[in-house]
Amino acid sequence: GAVVSQHPSRVICKSGTSVKIECRSLDFQATTMFWYRQFPKKSLMLMATSNEGSKATYEQGVEKDKFLINHASLTLSTLTVTSAHPEDSSFYICSASSGSAADTQYFGPGTRLTVL
Amino acid sequence: DQQVKQNSPSLSVQEGRISILNCDYTNSMFDYFLWYKKYPAEGPTFLISISSIKDKNEDGRFTVFLNKSAKHLSLHIVPSQPGDSAVYFCAASRTDSWGKLQFGAGTQVVVTP
Query: What is chain A's pLDDT, residue by residue, as a tens digit (116 residues)?
Result: 688 999 999 999 999 999 999 999 998 888 889 999 988 777 889 999 998 888 899 999 999 999 999 988 889 999 999 999 999 999 999 999 887 666 678 999 999 999 99
pLDDT value of residue A83: 96
Of A6, A45, A102, the CB nearest to B98: A102
Does pLDDT of B99 surpass 80? no
* Residue in B with minimal Cα distance to A6: B43
- Per-residue confidence (pLDDT) for residue A101, from 0 to 100: 61
pLDDT for res A102: 62
Q: Nearest residue of B to residue A99 by CA position?
A: B99
Q: What residues of A are in contact with residue B103 (Cβ under 8 Å)?
A: 36, 43-45
Whole-number pLDDT of residue B79: 97
A32 contact residues in B (CB cutoff 8 A) = 99
Distance CA A34, CA A93 (A): 8
For residue B98, pLDDT beyond 70 = no
What is chain B's mean pLDDT, rounded? 93
